Amino acid sequence: MDKNLFIGRDYEIRQLEKYRNSKESEFVIVYGRRRVGKTFLVKEFFDDTYDFKVTGLYKKNKKTQLKNFYLALQEYGSSVKTIPSDWLEAFAELKKLIKSIKEDRKKIIFIDELPWLDTRQSDFIAAFEGFWNDWGAQQNDLMLIACGSATTWITNKLLSDKGGLFNRAARRLYLMPFTLQETERYLLSRGIRWSRYDIVECYMVMGGIPYYLKLIDNELSYLANIDTIFFKRNGSLWDEFDHLYETLFGTSKGYLKIIEALSNKKSGLTRNEIIRDAKLEDNGLLTEMLKNLKDSLFVRAYNTYGYEDKNVVYQLSDYFTLFYLRFMKGKQNPDEHFWTHFLDNPAKKGWAGQTFEQVCKDHIAQVKKAIGISALLTDVSSWYGASDSGKAQIDLIIDRRDRTTNICEIKFSVNEFVIDKEYEEKLKKKMAVFREVTKSNNALQLVMITTYGVRQNAHSGIMQSQVKMDDLFINKD
C-alpha cells in the first residue's frame, strides 16, 4: 500500500490496519455517497489482492448475480462446477473456498456493491447473515469487507436493530467527502495549482467528491474545466444527475420531488412545507425518504434557533445537485463555454453567495477554530423571525455554552467586503430583532465570514471577529 495515494483517509487507514491485525474475525462496512472513493480505498489498501472478491451487478436479476458470484469463485480457485441455485449454496461454496486456504493469516473477502446483490425475493440477506453469523464470526482469521453506495440499504439491512447482523457489523467506516484542505492537497498532488478562490468555487460545484475532482485537467483553468466536464457535448458529468439518484434511491420520483422543492428555497423547508411544495403525502414513506436523503448527505437537517425537533428544517446540501438544478437541468443544447460566458452574470453571483453558506456550514469546525472556540460545546442552527421592528433572517448561529451567541454573516466577494453605514444599520437591526423575538440573554457577537476579509473603516467595528476564506482551509483538529 502506497500511503501517498491517500488524501484525507488517515483515520480509515488506521482502522483498516487495526482490523487486519486483530486476533479475531472482522466484518467491516465501508459506505458513503456514490463517487466518494470507497472502492479505491479498499483496493489500494489491500493492493487489490484478496482471497475472494465479487462486485454486485447493477439492476441484474438473481440468476445473473449468482452466475457472476460463481465466476468469481472459480477465479479465486474454487472447484465448484455448476452455478449455485440459490444464495445459501453460493455462500456454502465461499465457505468451502476460504476453508481450503491453509496459510496462517487473515483471509480477506471483499464484496463490493453489496446492496446490488440483494435482488427482489432472492433471500440474499438471510444467506449472507447465515454465512457470517453461523460461521464467519466464529473464526479468528477472517476479514469481510462490504462496500456500497446505497446508504439506505446498508442502514436498513445491516445497521438497523431489525436485522440479524445488528451489533455484529460493529466496524463501520463512513467515508466523508474531502474538506477544502483535503481538496487542495488532492489538486496539488495532481499538479493543479489554483488560487484558493478558484478552489472554493470548484468546491461549490463539485463538493469534495474525489471522482469528480479526478476529472479535472491540470492543463486547463478552473473555468475551462467546468465547461469541459459539465457543458461540453458528452461531457463527463453531463448525465451524472439521473444516474446518481437512480442508483442510490431506485424508483426516485419522490426523492426528486423533495430535492427540487428544496432547491427553490436556500434556507430550507420544514416537513409541512415540503409536503406543500413537493405535493407529497404526509406518511411513513416521506419520513423514510427524508431520513435516506439525510443519511446519504444530500440533505442537511437542523433546528431553527429556539425551537424543538418538530421545527426541523431540511436544506439541500449536495453541491453537485444544487449546481445541476440551477444551471444544467433542461438544457438540451448547451453553450459549451457556458460557465466562462456566465462569469459576471447576477444569477451566478446569487448562486455563489448561497452555496458559500453551505461551504461554511460544512466547515463549522474550522470556523470555530478560527474564532477561538474549538473547545467549547456549541449548537449550530439558523433563525428567522419577525417583530414590530421588522423581519430578520440569520443563516448561521453558533450558540455557545459560555452564554454567548455568535451571529454569523456570510459573504462571498471577489475583494475585501465593505461594511458601509447602511449595512451597519441593517446588522444592528437584525441583532435587535433576534434579541426581541428570542428573548435571549446571551451576549451577541457578530462574526463576518468572507472570502478576503472585511475592510477596516468607520463601520467595521460592529463585528467582534472575522473568518476569512483561508481559515476554512485549516486543519480542523
Tell me the pLDDT tens digit for each residue of 85-111: 999 999 999 999 999 999 999 999 999
Q: What pLDDT is recorded for position 308?
A: 58
Nearest to residue 439, comparing CAs of 380, 381, 385, 373?
385
User: Which residue spans of the chain are classified as CATH 3.40.1350.10?
Assistant: 366-473
Cell 466577494 -> residue? 413
Per-residue pLDDT reduced to its tens digit, 269-280: 999 999 999 999
pLDDT over 60 (residue 2): no
| Alpha-carbon span 111 to 148, nearest angstrom | 9
Phi first, then psi: give them for residue 466, nearest 5 degrees.
Answer: -140, 155
How far, in Å, CA of 297 to CA of 343, rounded? 29
* DSSP string for residues in 69-127: HHHHHHHTT----S--SSHHHHHHHHHHHHHT--SSS-EEEEEETGGGG--TT--HHHH
CATH class held by domain 366-473:
alpha beta
When mean pLDDT is compared across 244-258, 382-396, 424-438, the lowest value belongs to 244-258
Residue 136 CB burial class (10 angstroms; 0-12, 13-18, ≥19): buried
pLDDT at 129 over 80: yes
CA 189 → CA 86, 154, 216, 414, 467, distances in Å? 46, 32, 12, 26, 27
pLDDT band at 253 (very low <50, low <70, confident <90, very high): confident
Closest CA to 293 of 262, 326, 323: 262
For residues 133-161, give the mean pLDDT. Answer: 87
Tell me the pLDDT of the chain averaged across its residues.
91
Q: What is the pLDDT of residue 366?
A: 97
DSSP state of 193: -
The CATH 1.10.10.10 domain(s) of the chain lie at: 241-327
pLDDT of 335 > 90? The answer is: no
Q: Is the pLDDT of residue 309 over 60?
A: no
- Architecture of the domain made up of 3-175: 3-Layer(aba) Sandwich (3.40)
Q: What percent of the chain lies above the pLDDT cut of 70?
A: 95
Choose the weakest-confidence range: 171-175, 210-214, 309-313, 363-367: 309-313
Residue 146 above 90 pLDDT? yes
How do beta strands 142-148 and 171-175 pair?
Answer: unpaired
Note whether 201 and 225 are within 8 A (CB): no
The CATH class of the 241-327 domain is mainly alpha
- How sure is the predictor about 167, in pLDDT bands with cuts at 50, 70 and 90? low
Distance CA 329, CA 327 (A): 6
Max CA-CA distance within the chain? Answer: 84
User: Is pLDDT above 80 for 296?
Assistant: yes
pLDDT value at residue 465? 95
Q: For residue 364, how many C-alpha atoms fall within 13 Å in the half-sphere facing its CB? A: 17
- Lowest pLDDT segment from 129-133, 388-392, 396-400: 388-392
Structure confidence at residue 151 (pLDDT): 79
Dihedral through CA 270, CA 271, CA 276, CA 281, nearest 10?
180
How are beta strands 443-450 and 465-467 bridged, if at all?
A: parallel
Q: Is the pLDDT of residue 252 over 90?
A: no
Grid cell, residue 236, equals 463527463
Residue 83 has pLDDT above 60, yes or no: yes
Identify the pLDDT of residue 1. 56
**CA 261 – CA 61 distance, rounded (Å):** 34
Cell of 133: 453469523
Q: Where in the chain is the domain with CATH 3.40.50.300?
A: 3-175
- Using the predicted structure, report yes or no on whether residue 165 has a pLDDT greater than 70: no
When pLDDT is averaged across residues 360-370 and rounded to a whole number, the result is 96
Q: What pLDDT was estimated at residue 295? A: 85
Exposed/middle/buried for 283, CB within 10 Å: 0-12, 13-18, 19+?
A: exposed
Phi, psi of 215 (to 5 degrees): -75, -10
Q: Note the pLDDT of residue 156.
A: 80
Q: For the whole model, what pTM was predicted?
A: 0.91
Q: What is the pLDDT of residues 168-182, one digit of tens each?
A: 657 899 999 999 999
Mean pLDDT of 13-36: 93
Beta-bridge mates of residue 191: none
CA dist., res. 298 & res. 316, Å (int): 6
421: Cβ contacts below 8 Å, ≥ 6 apart: 458, 459
Strand order in the sheet with 171-175: 52-55, 107-112, 142-148, 26-32, 171-175
The answer to whether 290 touches 315, Cβ cutoff 8 Å, is: no
Inform me whether the pLDDT recorded for 324 exceeds 60: yes
Q: Name the amino acid, one letter, at 359.
A: V
User: Which strand (E) or helix (H) includes residue 411?
Assistant: strand 404-411
